[in-house]
Structure 1
């Protein structure tokens, strides 16, 4: 654990990191693809996509059209050069036309090229629709927190000038790789899909109305955002309100008040809960000992860590790991 001691006569330096706090969270998305598919679908066709909990689902139409039914009364029609990101992996129906019958996704034969990549040919032999689809997850608490705040669907159109020239070029490249696979094409397709997911999220953040309060507003705040940035980078340090206020360039009282105003949470309560979220991830995804995990989130004593964990999570670290 970092040996950083808060002393009034030894103030912490203000962070000089050039990456803004929200960009830092995007950097931590650390996407890992669990499934990629390139379907070739001929009308009539319909696919019932089940809920894919805690996954992001990207659907890119590179040729033809697709009707995306969110099953809540909202329907989107995606054409060539358009994409939809489903940040919460909700169940959706995909069709060429509204009346086409549905087939469950996992009942449709597919050709598997690797454990995570497959192609699919399906439909009645009519008009062609080609898509590239990806199912991905994130592996960092900050990224998970951001995903929780995203809407049910994010839509992007290559013909929308605000989306930028990058989208048009990326989708053209994606379509060409899907139509005419080249050596290494699977790697290209998966990497481009990952890029599109990040860019879709960036686009939503740019377009979304300025939020006056909440976690994203706190990250965007010029002062509080700096403090969050350094804390997220070093959650194991000996943080106090005073030390975080120094990174924000504010007095202790002004920082605490501004932090509460933006997040609705007290500074040290936020610190503790964030550390416990990191600990939960480590308990589920690593073989580290409880002492190692305690140290990684800022506790010198395993007993103190266990007490804090039970207070926040409602059970002991050992019990949580067994779930």
Structure 2
């Protein structure tokens, strides 16, 4: 069982924005970018990389996006695309063409995180920057799970905002000139574009008001989620979390289960165990130390909870 030690910390005010905080904390882990300059007839099959997202930024010309289970979409200059669930997809000049795997198409590695591809034929010029991204924050991973199979954002959808055009122009310029520091600029700009894509979807899609995201945006349950995420080691109970967000125990419990689809106790345990799994994959850490960090007063209690949730003992994580 979690230890009874309770750290004296201030109550989180209801004015906090858990969703905004989650977006603020999005940090890309292990990114790789490829700038493609292509002419004529071409079709590129994007690799399926489990646990990764892919972003495509059309900086010149136009192309087609074909994604498994969806009708092909035409992407004009200034379009951003996010494929968040490692689904098979391709970019092409014509969706009827047979695609060539991206890494078999003549990609040239410029650095550890940057590659270029050139296909010089007769025809219209298209320039696309593609990125492979991952997020190491557990809250970010939960957010990504709720996204649709593909997010497409045309710069015209943002009205008079010119930040997107400026960002795309800067990415295109840096990719073309490859000046010192250009790779870093491209990486950070692409990170910002990913967050903007997700934020735009959250603001426009009714789906963003459902499930975990809907709970995060709820003025009461969002506070409880923020409390759990910030201090998973505390001896949280239904009563203490209800008090944290200013609700009765019964009302809080019912509202939480309605939005999350899980009980408060189960969510707290699953959150802790997913954090533990993430930590164990990232570094070697004594199980007792990890147990204490997550509010357990014995390694045995922690290990039982871990195996119950994850289906494997923590000692077998490599």
Q: TM-score, normalised by structure 2?
A: 0.92
Q: Give the total of aligned pairs.
A: 317
> Aligned with 2:152: secondary structure?
strand
* Corresponding residue number in structure 2 for 1:38: 35
Q: 1:136 to 1:211 in 2, by over 3 A?
A: closer
Q: What SS does the aligned partner of 2:199 have?
A: helix
- Say whether residues 1:316 and 2:313 are aligned partners: yes
Deviation at 1:165, TM superposition (A): 3.2
1:106 is paired with a residue of what secondary structure?
A: helix
The CA distance in 2 between the partners of 1:164 and 1:300, in whole Å, is 53
Counterpart position of 2:174: 177
Task: Answer whether contact 1:55 1:89 (CA < 8 A) is retained.
Answer: yes
2:211 is aligned, of 207, 211, 214, to: 214
Relative distance call for 1:312 and 1:33 in structure 2 (3 A) is closer
The structural deviation recorded for 1:185 is: 1.2
Q: Within 5 Å, which residues of 2 pair with 1:176-195? A: 176-195=173-192
**Residues 156 and 163 in structure 1, CA contact (< 8 A), matched pair in contact too:** no
Question: What is the correspondence of 1:221-300 to structure 2 with a 5 Å cutoff?
Answer: 221-300=218-297
C-alpha distance in 2 between matches for 1:190 and 1:211: 27
Structure 1 distance, partners of 2:299, 2:159, is 51
2:66 to 64, 69, 81: 69
The alpha carbon displacement at 1:72 in A equals 1.9
Q: Is structure 2 residue 6 aligned with structure 1 residue 5?
A: yes
Is the deviation greater in 38-47 or in 161-170? Answer: 161-170
Gaps of 5+ in 1: none
SS of 1:299's partner is coil
Indicate how the Cα distance of structure 1 residues 28 and 80 shifts in structure 2: closer, same or farther if over 3 A, else same. same
Kept after mapping to 1: 8 A contact 2:209/2:217: no
Q: Does 1:132 align with 2:156?
A: no
Task: Note closer, same or farther for the CA distance 1:109–1:19 as it changes in structure 2 (3 Å cut).
Answer: farther
The match for 1:120 is 117
- In 1, Cα distance between the equivalents of 2:159 and 2:246? 35
State the TM-score, normalized to the length of structure 1: 0.91
Kept in 1: contact 2:14–2:245 (CA 8 A): no
CA distance in 2, matches of 1:263, 1:316: 26
The CA distance in 2 between the partners of 1:26 and 1:254, in whole Å, is 28
Q: Deviations over 1:114-149 (max 9, x none)?
A: 111111112424221111111000102111111111
The question of whether the paired residues in 2 share the 8 Å contact of 1:42 and 1:122 is answered with: yes
- How far is the alpha carbon of 1:13 from its aligned partner? 4.6
From the superposition, tell whether residues 211 and 57 of structure 1 become closer, same or farther in structure 2 (CA, over 3 Å): closer
